């Protein structure tokens, strides 16, 4: 299986897995506001640990992916910023890797000498 398809599969799993729990929150919580959602991430030390972990992952992702996208001239690279916050980093990161791999494959095809 090509690597890009693994990235695409991970993006699909990332959106399904995270949004399953988001939907559970919206179905069961009395206060479904964004402020309450964020407040709930700070209710326990494990929740705070995961939030801190994800924050560092997101910052690292942006620090790497923005220059990478610009260097590779990936169109609409900025879309991954709102996707990270509106959907999930578990979706946006592997989706970017999928798009990046498509771009790298295209560049590699252009560099091959024709026979």
The SS3 call for residue 111 is helix
Which has the closest alpha carbon to 21: 93, 88, 83, 94?
A: 88
pLDDT digits over 33-88, tens only?
999 999 999 999 999 999 999 999 999 999 999 999 999 999 999 999 999 999 99
Q: In whole angstroms, what is the distance from residue 24 CA to residue 59 CA?
A: 27
Question: What tokens does 38 get?
Answer: 């964020």
Global pTM?
A: 0.88
Tell me the torsion sign for CA atoms 102, 108, 110, 114.
Answer: negative
Q: In whole angstroms, what is the distance from residue 115 CA to residue 90 CA?
A: 41
The SS3 call for residue 24 is helix
Check pLDDT > 80 for residue 113.
no
Cα Rg of the chain, angstroms:
17
pLDDT of 115 reads 56
Q: In whole angstroms, what is the distance from residue 1 CA to residue 17 CA?
A: 22
């Amino acid at each position: 299986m090509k690597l890009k398809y693994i990235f695409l599969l991970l993006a699909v799993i990332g959106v399904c897995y995270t949004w399953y729990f988001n939907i559970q929150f919206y179905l069961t919580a009395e206060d479904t506001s964004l402020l309450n959602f964020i407040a709930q991430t700070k209710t326990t030390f494990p929740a705070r640990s995961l939030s801190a972990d994800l924050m560092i992952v997101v910052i690292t992702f942006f620090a790497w992916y923005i220059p990478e996208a610009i260097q590779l001239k990936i169109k609409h690279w900025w879309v991954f910023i709102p996707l990270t916050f509106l959907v999930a980093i578990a979706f946006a990161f592997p989706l970017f890797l999928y798009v990046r791999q498509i771009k790298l494959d295209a560049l590699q095809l252009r560099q091959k000498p024709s026979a």
